[in-house]
Amino acid sequence: MRPFTDLHLRPTVSEQANDMLLLAKEMGYKHAAFVGNPPNKQIPEFTFATRVDVEARKQRELIDVVGKIRKWYDIIAVKCLTKEAARQAAKDDRIDIILFPEDPTQRKTVWLDIHQAELTSGTGCAYEVNLNELLDIGALRLSRLITQIKKEIGNAQKHDIPVIFSSGASSSILMREPKALAALASLFDIDEDYALNMISKTPAEMLIKNLKKRERQRNQNAG
Amino acid sequence: MPVRGIRRRYLTFTIEPNEKVEEKEIWEVIRSSIQTLYGIKGISLIDPNLIKYDPVNRRGLVRCTHDTERYMRCALAYITSIKGGAIAVRVWRTSGTIKKLRNKANEY
């Protein structure tokens, strides 16, 4: 069975995080990453990581912030609000995930274009699409966003950049079961196997690798 | 010469949270979701049909054609609200026959 992983859960309080953790397990997920308020309990056969979302505009600002927070979180994601920040994020191997603005107009200037993809391909940094960007928006905006994401996924595939599809859910009502997420990925005209990898193999490998890396660092610091 | 019938796929779903939703409303929202994502042609390809909906347990059974199950799942997952209230439609089981679904889940 595939190790289904949702790398972007954003609960507002810890109790909500616990509910989301249980629901994720019930839905068939094996791993998850929480932003802000991680759950305060463990459940068997389920691993979760801590994640931080950094919104960046300036190159210098991004370098400083990432340097300060890298050791505190398992996964670092950067939402690139400007081209300058996007280029820096692509070059920085401390960053695990890059994402782009939800607004299609803003995304016309800051997106995973060919040059961005070329820069990103060397670092092992993944490109993330969030379901919450697609929900509750008008048909016109949705169609524009789908077109944009299709182009970005195409560029990512050309340059072997790992692509991740997460829910970005801020409550349990916005969470979707793994097969539903894979079905929603059909909107980007990608085959089912690739879509399933976007929510299982690719994010799971990243999460496990980062958890092991942090564990090693903790042991080194303790020793 | 015998002609093979269209193969179908049946999906059981539940509505969350505990919101009272009528059968007509849920059917309307499913159809509208398919239309938003795939258009009129999509509706004809998917050929959706709400077979049964139990408003008390908020469980339903929906049908689509065999090769459009992915689109049906997508349309169900895309539903986020009904009558202004936030909901989620979760598919729990799929099968090629209603009988198998009944045997497996004992839901109906």
* Domain coordinates in residue numbering, chain A: 51-222
Question: Domain of B74: which CATH number?
Answer: 3.30.70.3250
Over residues A153-159, mean pLDDT: 96
Chain B closest-CA separation from residue A172 CA (Å)? 9
Mean pLDDT of A132-143: 91
Task: Look up residue B58 and give its two tokens.
Answer: 């908020």
**B59: containing domain:** 8-101
- B interface test, pick of A179, A189, A192 with most B CB neighbours within 10 Å: A179
User: Would B42 be classed as within a structural domain?
Assistant: yes
Contact B88 A176 (CB under 8 A): yes
What pLDDT score does B106 carry?
64
Which pLDDT band holds residue A89 (cuts at 50, 70, 90)?
A: very high
- Domain assignment of residue B107, yes or no: no
- Could you tell me if residue B96 is inside a domain? yes
State how many domains chain B has.
1
With tokens 């079905």, the residue in question is: A183
Residue of B9, B45, B73, B89 to mutate, interface with A, max A Cβ within 10 Å: B73
Angle A192-199/A201-222 helices, nearest 10 degrees? Answer: 20
Other beta carbons less than 10 A from residue A108's beta carbon: 11
Q: For the segment A43-69, what is each residue's pLDDT rounded down to a tens digit?
A: 999 999 999 999 989 999 999 999 999
Separation in Å, CA of B13 to nearest CA in chain A: 12
pLDDT of residue B46: 96
Q: Which residues of A touch B (CB under 8 A)?
A: 27, 134-136, 139, 142, 172-177, 179-184, 186-187, 192
Write out pLDDT tens, residues A24-43: 999 999 999 999 888 988 89
Phi, psi of B69 (to 5 degrees): -60, -40
Mean pLDDT split into 10-residue runs, chain B, 108 residues? 84 86 93 96 96 91 95 96 91 91 68
pLDDT for the residue B84: 85
Structural domain includes residue B2: no
Q: Does domain A51-222 have CATH number 3.20.20.140?
A: yes
CA distance A73 to B7: 49
Distance CA A164, CA A35 (A): 16
Residue B40 lies in a domain: yes
User: Chain A residues with CB inside 8 Å of B36's CB?
Assistant: 139, 142
With beta carbons under 8 A apart, name residues in chain B contacting A187. 37, 74
pTM for this entry: 0.92
